[in-house]
Amino acid sequence: MKKSIRAFVTLALAFAALSHSAFAVVYPLPAKNSRLIGENLEITVPQDSKLPLEAFAAQYQMGLSNLLEANPGVDVYLPQAGSKLTIPHQLLLPDAPREGIVINSAEMRLYYYPKGTNTVVVLPIGIGELGKDTPMDWVTSVQHKKDGPTWTPTKKMHEEYASRGEKLLEVFPAGPDNPMGLYALYIGRLYAIHGTNANFGIGLRVSHGCVRLRAQDIKWLFDNVPVGTRVQFINQPMKASVEPDGSRYVEIHNPLSQTEEQFNSREPVPIAITPAVSKVVVDATVNQSEMDAALKARSGMPTKITGLVENGESAPVATPEAAGAVPQEQAMTPATTEGAAVATPEAAQAETQPQQTSTEQPADAAATTNSKF
């Protein structure tokens, strides 16, 4: 039964890929004793393609870092025509409550668990630069939402830009040129989950601490996430799971650099194995060679570490070629009224209706002056 559900999800993702629309962000939740969701896809870069890797990342709802981890050696500026790209749509859910929004900075993904739907929405994000980090161990909530946010840079931001010979506006008005994009969900007092006016930065450390999403993703969150929703920030570069059949999996991402020395070094950032992960990987059934290979590869994809892969279980599913599946380069990812595409008919019925939220909003000055970008 589990394999048939996963096969259905795979077909849904492949069909959505051909339709050239926002897709592959809503998964049916697995059983409580399971954390493995989705299937990887494999695509072929068109022979006449002159698009950067970001174009493929946007088309397949990925952050740039997700594709770089899954495809070591790929040219970020011009992926080789005719080469294969693995799209890492198979994931392990984070070790966190399946409630509200969970933001895992290490993998640069946002997980949203809509109430009463038995689904999880997974979206790629951009996070804070080194020294301007997005929170990594914090539980808060959505305080309020803003359609058409303005952005008031802080004094420190003005000084930072001035040191580079650049000048910031005192206030960036609402609109397509606003670096915060067209929608914002304000969390706590200093941070926001918001859009962007650029077609890059998702899957990168680019902000002053806030969480960035592509235009269609923040629009969907704005329409569907109610004020008061729980928000949890975590930093889990290594996730692990024991599945119902006894199989053990790890999903390992490159940890975020904590110092300038680490950031500038060619050496990989050390990975700390937490007690929760240790309970999964320290077991007699674990194939140590598979575990060592996963630690070295840091592919950002679930890797089975018990026994051998059987029946091509972890092999990516090839996506048929079609003109409509080719990504398009744009100056900016436009806002859209499309909701996140779903992987099952049940999820489609449960997920498309936004929940009622409070219409009370604070003054713009209070909403923007104290917010990081």
Neighbours of 198 (CB within 10 A): 17
Q: Is 363 left (phi over 0), alpha (psi -120 to 50) or beta?
A: beta
Read off the DSSP letter of residue 282. Answer: S
Burial 217-231 (b: 16+ CB within 10 A, else e): bbbbbbbbbebebeb
Catalytic residue (choose from 89, 144, 208, 210):
210
Q: Distance between CA 232 and CA 99 in Å, rounded?
A: 9
**Best CA proximity match to 127, nearest among 101, 109, 147:** 109
Q: Answer yes or no: 208 catalytic.
A: no
Catalytic residue (choose from 144, 194, 208, 253):
194
Beta strands 127-128; 205-207: pairing state: parallel
Q: Distance between CA 137 and CA 135 in Å, rounded?
A: 6
Q: Distance between CA 322 and CA 340 in Å, rounded?
A: 22
Question: What are the angstrom distances between the C-alpha of 119 and each of 202, 282, 363?
Answer: 23, 31, 34
Phi, psi torsion values for 89, nearest 5 degrees: -90, -5
Q: Answer yes or no: 194 catalytic.
A: yes
Beta strands 41-44; 317-318: pairing state: parallel
Residue 78's contacts (CB-CB under 8 Å, 6 or more residues apart) are 50, 51, 52
Task: Please identify every residue annotated as catalytic.
Answer: 194, 210
